[in-house]
């Protein structure tokens, strides 16, 4: 049996039990991690998906000094910010096996730091065969070889997660091997690890010609994955296909249905804004909060 979908604690040790807005911390590029988090707090946001680049390091560092972890953790606590997750994305099926191995080594480094950072969730992608761009679709992504490499990589990744007592959350993404909710369910069923969970981003699920079936595709995603959704993203899409790169409220995603579907399966964590500039944050945040409030009212759930 899996634990509750969202069991993270905020920066002062209290559970957040209501759907609420969060954001990628790297939306605020600053010279220091403290300044980046000040940018988050200035907008009244209290949950972040963290990226080690906010601390002046690569997203997947070669090493993470203990003092860096302490500084990041203290910066979050001082600002009452919850680190909902930390980004651990690398190309898990890169055609160069040496690059895969190096990514896995760095995942181990990141996982070893999570307890000190104050999070237990690392986000992942399921990779692409494109050797240059981790977010570019490739014809060989649908091959049996790519799937077998994905299974092998995820089995290695969950061993790391077990060693460091963290969970991994991968995202169904149009450009990656797992590009539908059904493939996400297949991956979970084949790997069969309580350390493997899902990030759901409603804007990433639509292939060419799918927009007319938006509601059914969103419903299928939460029905198939509702027991393993540990984090949700909030952005938008301009059209079907590889188009989910717009700020929330600036595209075609039916947020009323998206949020209603998440509430229907009991999701009570953050909705992490991303794919937006710092200048777009106020407008997207107002939009998202309005949609959250409306969804909570419609569901009868208490407001935050």
Q: 32-58: per-residue pLDDT in tens? A: 999 999 999 999 999 999 999 999 999
Whole-number pLDDT of residue 252: 95
Cα–Cα distance measured from residue 103 to residue 91, given in angstroms and rounded to the nearest whole number: 7
CB 100 within 8 A of CB 94: yes
User: Buried b / exposed e across 121-147, counting CB within 10 Å, b at 16+?
Assistant: bbbbbbbbbbeeebeebbeebeeeebb
The predicted structure's pLDDT at residue 212: 93
Q: Report the largest interatomic distance among the alpha carbons of the chain, rounded to a whole angstrom.
A: 51
DSSP 162-207: HHHT-EEEE---TTSS--SHHHHHHHHHHH--TTEEEEEEGGG---
Q: What tokens appear for 188 in the block?
A: 């979970």
For the CA atoms of the chain, what is the radius of gyration?
Answer: 18
pTM over 0.95: no
Fold of the domain spanning 20-299 = TIM Barrel (3.20.20)
Residues of the chain with pLDDT > 90, as a percent, come to: 87
Q: In whole angstroms, give the CA distance from residue 124 to residue 62.
A: 17
Residue 256 neighbours by CB distance under 10 Å: 12
User: Using one digit for the tens of pLDDT, what is the confidence trace for 211-238?
Assistant: 999 999 999 999 999 999 999 999 999 8
pLDDT tens digit sequence for 120-139: 999 999 999 999 888 889 99
- pLDDT over 70 for what percent of the chain? 93
Nearest to 122 by CA among 175, 50, 201: 50
Q: How many CA atoms lie within 13 A of 179 on its CB side?
A: 25
Other beta carbons within 10 angstroms of residue 208's beta carbon come to 11
Which one, of 167, 121, 118, 173, lies nearest residue 150 by Cα?
173
Instruction: Compute the distance between CA of residue 38 and CA of residue 32 in angstroms, rounded to an integer.
Output: 10
């Amino acid at each position: 049996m899996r634990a509750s979908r969202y069991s993270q604690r905020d920066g002062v040790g209290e559970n957040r039990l209501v759907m609420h807005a969060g954001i990628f911390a790297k939306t605020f590029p600053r010279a220091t991690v403290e300044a980046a988090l000040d940018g988050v707090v200035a907008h009244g946001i209290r949950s972040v998906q963290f990226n080690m680049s906010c601390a002046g390091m690569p997203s997947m560092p070669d090493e993470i000094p203990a003092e860096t972890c302490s500084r990041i953790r203290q910066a979050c606590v001082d600002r009452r910010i919850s680190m909902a997750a930390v980004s651990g994305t690398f190309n898990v099926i890169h055609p160069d096996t040496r690059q895969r191995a190096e990514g896995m080594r760095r995942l181990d480094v990141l996982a070893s730091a999570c307890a000190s950072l104050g999070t237990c969730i690392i986000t992942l992608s399921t990779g692409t065969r494109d050797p240059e761009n981790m977010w570019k679709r490739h014809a060989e992504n649908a091959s049996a070889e790519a799937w077998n490499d994905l299974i092998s990589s995820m089995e290695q990744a969950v061993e790391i997660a077990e060693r460091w007592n963290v969970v991994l959350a991968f995202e169904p993404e149009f450009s990656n091997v797992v590009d539908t909710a059904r493939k996400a369910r297949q991956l979970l069923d084949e790997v069969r690890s309580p350390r493997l969970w899902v990030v759901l981003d409603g804007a990433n699920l639509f292939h060419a010609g799918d927009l007319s079936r938006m509601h059914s595709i969103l419903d299928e995603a939460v029905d198939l994955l509702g027991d393993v959704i540990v984090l949700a993203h909030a952005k938008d899409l301009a059209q079907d296909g590889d188009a989910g790169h717009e700020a929330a409220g600036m595209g075609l995603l039916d947020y009323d249905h998206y949020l209603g579907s998440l509430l229907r399966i009991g999701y009570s964590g953050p909705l992490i804004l991303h794919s937006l500039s710092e200048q777009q944050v106020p407008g997207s945040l107002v939009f998202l909060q309005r949609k959250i409030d409306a969804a909570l009212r419609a569901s009868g759930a208490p407001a935050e």
